[in-house]
Chain A
Amino acid sequence: EDQVTQSPEALRLQEGESSSLNCSYTVSGLRGLFWYRQDPGKGPEFLFTLYSAGEEKEKERLKATLTKKESFLHITAPKPEDSATYLCAVVGGSNYKLTFGKGTLLTVNP
């Protein structure tokens, strides 16, 4: 059974204070790891897909990296508008269904 564990559950940063969110996973034959952002009252918004260890993707202040056991979402010089819940999900093997982690609630204070 695929498993995804995200840490920390909640993270509070000051504006400009860089940090990282962790997504540890157990999957048989990773086909893809996905990062999403979710704002209150909205559906998850797709950010990145990573397919193999060593791969990196960047978008504005966000950078996602992937190893064989975990992924990191690095947030550089965050702004208050980066406040959201960040979700990680994996799909693996012959099962094309996504397994989601419970998310990290990020709060960036001005």
Chain B
Amino acid sequence: DAGITQSPRHKVTETGTPVTLRCHQTENHRYMYWYRQDPGHGLRLIHYSYGVKDTDKGEVSDGYSVSRSKTEDFLLTLESATSSQTSVYFCAISAENSSPLHFGNGTRLTVT
């Protein structure tokens, strides 16, 4: 299994509070991604990174920000959580931009 650790695995938070999810990899891969998975929508890209301090938006980036200060860590922040951000969040990594993605086991976030 690819060395990807997501933390926390589960979190319940209240509307309006900030939340940060962490993804840590041990593969030294250049590309890192944050996806959310919701019933009826499949996996949707939030943000991705193509190197330290290099990030770009995906298709559902509103309300989310990311940071990558080290190759191994990619943080996803919800500045002010809303109920619509209740979802399962997956981090993924790849060696190159057209290489297969390898996923972590997800963080289940509930915003009440």
Residues of A bordering B, CB below 8 Å: 31-32, 34, 36, 41-46, 49, 87, 89, 91, 96-98, 100-103
Known: A45-B103, A100-B43. 8 other contacts (CB 8 A): A31-B98, A43-B103, A46-B101, A87-B43, A96-B97, A96-B98, A98-B101, A103-B42
In the complex, what distance in Å separates the CA atom of A45 from the CA atom of B100? Answer: 10
Contact B100 A87 (CB under 8 A): no
**Nearest CB in chain B to that of A100: its residue:** B43
Of the candidates B40, B97, B102, B104, which one forms a contact with A102 in the assembled complex, judged by CB atoms under 8 Å apart? B40
Of the candidates A42, A46, A101, which one forms a contact with B100 in the assembled complex, judged by CB atoms under 8 Å apart? A46
Residues of B bordering A, CB below 8 Å: 4, 40-45, 48, 58-59, 90, 92, 97-98, 100-106
A–B complex contacts, Cβ < 8 Å, 23 sampled? A32-B98, A34-B100, A34-B101, A42-B106, A43-B4, A43-B90, A43-B92, A44-B90, A44-B103, A45-B103, A46-B100, A46-B101, A87-B42, A89-B43, A91-B98, A97-B48, A97-B59, A98-B43, A98-B45, A98-B101, A101-B42, A102-B41, A103-B42
